Amino acid sequence: MLRTEARVDLDAIRQNVATLRAGTSAAVMAVVKADGYGHGLVPSARAALAGGAAWLGVAFLEEALALRAAGIEAPILSWLATPGEELVTAVSQRVDLSASAPWAVAEIVAAARAAGRPARLHLKADTGLSRGGAAMSDWPDLVTAAAKAAAGGEVEIVGIWSHFAHADAPGHPTTDRQLAAYRDALAVAAGLGVTPQLRHLANSAATLTRPDAHFDLVRPGIAVYGLSPVPHESQFGLVPAMTLRSRVALAKRVPAGSGISYGHAYTTDRETGLALVPLGYADGVPRDATNRGPLLLGGRRRTISGRVCMDQFVVDVGDDAIAAGDEVVLFGPGTAGEPTAQDWAEVLGTISYEIVTRVGVRVPRTHTGLGT
């Protein structure tokens, strides 16, 4: 066993996508941005495609081009670029691009001319998240610019899309308002002569809870990796794919009254055993996990004792027989009694997305399943 590893079950990713696919008549775009939410970009993409995903979604161009370099030919949408980025390669390699403003359409058109082929374009409407996408007052201008480019053969308008703000809170009225706004955006586009091949709006939460928002394509992200976007409602049959584990580097006894780690944020109240674990905030263990991060060691749930350091943390193990080399599991699917990423999220007041994506580059990803 490695000193530390994030073990990723590709069969779990494949099955999660198959579960999502079975719940909709729409095609599935598996979102694999941020290195596959920390699980590994290319292996996660291949597992998702094996599970029935028809599309892949990424935030940045370099992610899309890395997938193409790995030989993946499935449709890919890249949706977040800034002015002046080099788009010619993306257009040449049939990476779909998103535009939220006329200037973005103009840059995509210029790239299409340089590439000598039409660009594949998705238009994003801001239906209430107030993040990316054209505001409704600007939407006609964006659609008009894209329609002109399509008429000139410089772009192919593949999709019209938006993104939910509150789909992870089932029943929140914002979701209905956004759905209505999205339909309005489609109607405005149709009035300007633009009918897209694909309409897509649903994220993981809406894929699982709002079939009326599925349209032609759904875009699950966190659910692909087995983590529920609505954790207090259901796990939806999803299986967490990542297990973060390490090994005890040192075990020793210390007397009562020993201050542990920087600042002595933890002090022993008796003679006790300590286990040193070679993981720290440089590896993605939040410093806020001091005195509260859960883990499994020696068959028991325990808690980090004292300050999380850059490379290591300490666990008070009492009188249990813990030795150097013993396995420590910070989170996994929970089937062996270990904490889950959701458990960590609840302890730290965050979301499971952050827990898995922040696992650092020093932690090797070990992939299992799919014939590995």
Per-residue pLDDT, 205: 97
Q: Hey, which residues are catalytic here?
A: 33, 262
Question: Residues 6 or more apart from 83 whose CB is under 8 A from it?
Answer: 103, 104, 107
Per-residue pLDDT, 372: 76
The C-alpha angle 174, 175, 181, rounded to 5 degrees, equals: 85
Ranges of each domain in the chain: 10-225, 242-368
Question: Residues 6 or more apart from 18 whose CB is under 8 A from it?
Answer: 51, 52
- How many CA atoms does the CB half-sphere of 217 hold within 13 Å? 24
Token pair 């007041």 is found at 349
Per-residue pLDDT, 87: 98
- Considering just the CA atoms, what is the radius of gyration of the chain in Å? 24
Token pair 């922040």 is found at 358
pLDDT digits (tens, 9 = 90+) for 251-281: 999 999 999 999 999 999 999 999 999 999 9
How far is Cα 270 from Cα 362, in angstroms, rounded to an integer? 35
> Does domain 242-368 bear CATH number 2.40.37.10?
yes
**Nearest Cα to Cα of residue 303 among 288, 321, 316:** 316
- CATH class (in words) of the domain with range 10-225: alpha beta
Give me the residues of the chain with pLDDT under 50, please.
none
- How many CA atoms does the CB half-sphere of 182 hold within 13 Å? 25
How far is Cα 109 from Cα 308, in angstroms, rounded to an integer? 50
Per-residue pLDDT, 162: 98
Judge contact between 163 and 201, C-beta under 8 A. Answer: yes
CB neighbourhood size of 129 (10 A): 14
